A and B are shown apart, each in its own frame.
Chain A
Amino acid sequence: GQQLNQSPQSMFIQEGEDVSMNCTSSSIFNTWLWYKQDPGEGPVLLIALYKAGELTSNGRLTAQFGITRKDSFLNISASIPSDVGIYFCAGRLQAGNNRKLIWGLGTSLAVNP
């Protein structure tokens, strides 16, 4: 099935550093969602985006809906150890079967205290 290109696949950073990850596609999306998943837990919704160009923050997290509607990025500022986990982007296509979410393969984040 269709997937989003999420990068990087993994990151290992020092506490206090900023983090950036993104998702891209060749298709146009009308919704972008960013989830975080801790080991053994279900994904937790971080940020939802609905309009091209939209920039939304949630604490130290900021995400943007790309102006072309084909990409989105998530930034984490001043990382802390509890930011460790897998971050997934998910999107809903502009056309076609838009009932299903399409998922990226995830970005695994490790933070060194």
Chain B
Amino acid sequence: DTEVTQTPKHLVMGMTNKKSLKCEQHMGHRAMYWYKQKAKKPPELMFVYSYEKLSINESVPSRFSPECPNSSLLNLHLHALQPEDSALYLCASSEALQFANTGELFFGEGSRLTVL
């Protein structure tokens, strides 16, 4: 069982809706990530939080808004999405951001998002 928990597992939303994806980890990891994955493609990095501060934003459109309320929680707020934003959204965590032996990512099961 994964130690990174994502909810909801599936989400269908219209282009005018506001919704949120949630992620939780209790491994004491200090770095948390959002990835977007299209079918049969590798994950694409969206955001990285390190010690609850946004460390990396990969030029993601503002209709995606991340939030890190505390070291265990990571949210992704969604607003005015487009059908092409439909994808599997993966949350991951790692012990720390930069050091080789502590940088392995542990992924959640993902939230499958469909935008109508």
Chain A interfacial positions (CB closer than 8 Å to B): 30-31, 33, 35, 40-45, 48, 50, 86, 88, 90, 92, 98-101, 103-106, 108
Given A42-B90, A44-B107, A30-B42 contact (CB < 8 Å):
no
The residue in A45, A100, A101 that gathers the most chain B C-beta atoms within 10 A of its C-beta is: A101
Given A42-B109, A45-B105, A98-B40 contact (CB < 8 Å):
no
The listed residue (B42, B104, B106, B109) touching A41 by CB distance below 8 A is B109
How far is it, in angstroms, between the C-alpha of A43 and the C-alpha of B42 when the chains are bound? Answer: 10
Determine whether B78 belongs to the interface, using a CB cutoff of 8 Å to chain A. no
Determine whether B60 belongs to the interface, using a CB cutoff of 8 Å to chain A. no
Determine whether B113 belongs to the interface, using a CB cutoff of 8 Å to chain A. no
Cβ-defined contact, B104 with A50, below 8 A: no
Other CB < 8 Å A-B pairs besides A42-B4, A43-B107, A105-B42, 13 of them? A42-B2, A43-B43, A43-B90, A44-B2, A45-B104, A45-B106, A50-B100, A86-B40, A90-B42, A100-B56, A101-B103, A103-B43, A106-B41
- Tell me whether chain A's interface is mostly helix, strand or loop, or mixed: strand
Cβ-defined contact, A40 with B112, below 8 A: yes
Cβ-defined contact, B2 with A103, below 8 A: no
Q: Can you list 16 A-B pairs with a CB-CB distance of less than 8 A?
A: A35-B107, A41-B110, A42-B2, A42-B6, A43-B90, A43-B107, A44-B2, A45-B104, A45-B105, A98-B98, A99-B56, A99-B97, A101-B103, A105-B41, A106-B41, A106-B42
Contacts of B41 in A (CB 8 A): 105-106
Contacts of A44 in B (CB 8 A): 2, 107
Cβ-defined contact, B42 with A42, below 8 A: no
The listed residue (A92, A98, A103, A108) touching B42 by CB distance below 8 A is A103
